[in-house]
Every structure is written in C-alpha cells, then in structure tokens.
Amino acid sequence: MTTQKEYEQQILAWRAEKYESLVRENGWLALAGLHWLKEGRNLVGSNPMCEVTLPERAPTFLGLVEWKGKTAHFQVAEGVRVEVNGRLVQKTILRSSKDAKPSFITWNNMRMVLHEHAGRAAIRVWDNQREERRSQPPLKWFPINKKFRIQARYTPYPDSQVGQHPDTFGEVVDDRIDGYVTFKFEGKTCKLDTSETKDHKLFIKFRDATSNKETYPPCRYYYTEPAKNGRVVVDFNYSYNPPCAFTPYATCIFAPPQNTLPFRVEAGEIYRG
C-alpha cells in the first residue's frame, strides 16, 4: 500500500514531467504557428506572402504543400535541404499527426507536421529557438489533497457515442464518448462522460466551481488509470490545464456542458492567466 509520502512523491514527479512536456524540444512552447491549408497550392517559407509562414530565419521559400481532397503533396524548393522523418526528400505525400507514423518535416531547428482538427487540415510549426521555452515560469498547483482521490465506477456505453464539445476556436465539434464515471462527493452523486484510450485509460474533460476563477476557464484534463471490474480511481490531484492554456497554436477540445461539477475541485493545476 502506498504511503502518504510515496503518494506525494509520485504526484511531484508527475508535475515535473508536465512542466518538461511544455519546455522540451518540440514541446508545446516550441510551437510557432498553425496555418490552415486552402485547397490547392500553399507556399511554405518566411516570406509573409506564404500561406504557411515560417520564422524569419527560415528560407524565403522552403517549398509548397498541395492540398487535394484529403491528400497533402509536399514539394521542396530547389537548393533547400529538408528532411522528412530523418531522410532528405524532394517530394513526398504527408501523413498527418493522426497517423501512427506522421511525416515530420525538419529544417534546422524547425519542425512541421500536417495537423487535422474537426475535418480541417493545417501545417503545425515548431521552432526550438523560441524564447518561450526558456522563460516559462514554474506551474502553479493546489496543495496535494487526498480528499480529491475518489473511488468511482466506470460504465461503458454499449456503443461509442458522438457528443458535441466546444473547441479552441469557439466552435462546437464532434468528439467520441465511450462511457461515464459516477462517484459520490460530499453527499452529491456526480457523473462525468469520458473517452477511453487505446491503453484503456479514461480521458476526462471537466469544469467545476473553480473554473473562471483559479483554474483554466474552458476546462481541465485528467487521465485515470485503467478501470478494473468497473471500478476506477478518480484523482483530481492529477488534473491539469490543456495545452491551449499555454499556446495559441494548440487545437483543444473542451469539456461538454454536462461535465460540470457542482463543487470546487481544489486539486490539480491552477491557471496563471
């Protein structure tokens, strides 16, 4: 059985990893652009006239992405050395970030990938020389509180459902719901819709009475451990802000309206604003 000290050490180690995921190479704070593709030719380069605009130190014209239907053809400009997944290329078909093996385009310390969100396609850009990677202050957290480690029950739906969720851009998009967790807290019975990952963890997006005050207004995220025989622990000490809290170049899907808890979850990450 885990002691209180071991429990706290596990959470502190997890918090350190959350910070590292922001500032590491090709992490969230290295993001430098998100450029939506139009049908047809999209120029890529540092020239402001390009559809995919890169930081100033990039070539004026690095190449072009031709978007046809649901396929992206990438052509490198003459005289420019560009790698895709570690190999020099002149032209290729790009696999998106949803693919098991995405096509990562690299030039010096910059990286790009075809990114899909809500039926639209974009080129996402990382620049590992961004100052944000070095200037990010430590993350802010509520004190660890075992009161918010709650025994719950997971009920999968017979078939996955599609629910409507708000997103980064103020739109409502479809997102998968595989089941729900139920638990009691301070005499209240609560229910949260959830999706299940490939490794059977439950992904919960939720709001509570601290949202718009101490915590990120749209919602916080949380992953449980896999449920066992329908039982699962919901530990809000592991809840955290989505990447959209740190960069305008992330595409986040937020909690559906029904995933609003009627009490203050004074656990997990606080929002600095």
Query: Which of 214, 204, 242 is closest to 141 using CA atoms?
Result: 214
Dihedral sign (CA 267, 28, 50, 90): negative
Give the per-residue pLDDT at 192. 98
CATH of domain 28-135: 2.60.200.20
* Cross-strand partners of 48: none
* 101: number of Cβ within 10 Å: 7
Burial (CB count <10 Å: 0-12, 13-18, 19+), residue 77: middle
Q: pLDDT (tens digit, 9 = 90+) per residue, 1-27?
A: 789 999 999 999 999 999 999 999 999
pTM of the model: 0.93
Q: pLDDT (tens digit, 9 = 90+) per residue, 239-257?
A: 999 999 999 999 999 999 9
Q: 220-255: buried (b, 16+ CB within 10 Å) or exposed (e) per residue?
A: bbbebeebeeeebebbbbbbbbbbbbbbebbbbbbb
Q: pLDDT (tens digit, 9 = 90+) per residue, 114-137?
A: 999 999 999 999 999 999 999 999
Give the per-residue pLDDT at 225. 97
Residues 6+ away with beta carbon under 8 Å from 55 = 32, 46, 110, 125, 127, 129
DSSP 8-state class, residue 84: E
Give the per-residue pLDDT at 273. 79
Question: Hey, what amino acid is at 227?
Answer: A
Give the per-residue pLDDT at 183. 98
Give the per-residue pLDDT at 25. 97
Low-confidence stretches of the chain (pLDDT < 50) are: none
Query: Which of 55, 53, 155, 69 is closest to 110 using CA atoms?
Result: 55
Query: Which of 273, 204, 212 is closest to 240 using CA atoms?
Result: 204
Give the per-residue pLDDT at 1. 74
The domain locations on the chain are 28-135, 139-270
Give the per-residue pLDDT at 2. 81
Q: Starting from the edge strand earliest in sequence, which strands make up the sheet with 31-36, in order?
A: 31-36, 120-127, 110-117, 105-107, 83-84, 87-88
| Residue 55, both tokens | 């930081």
Answer whether 28's CB lies under 8 Å from 141's CB.
Answer: no
Q: How far apart are CA 162 and CA 175, in angstroms?
A: 6
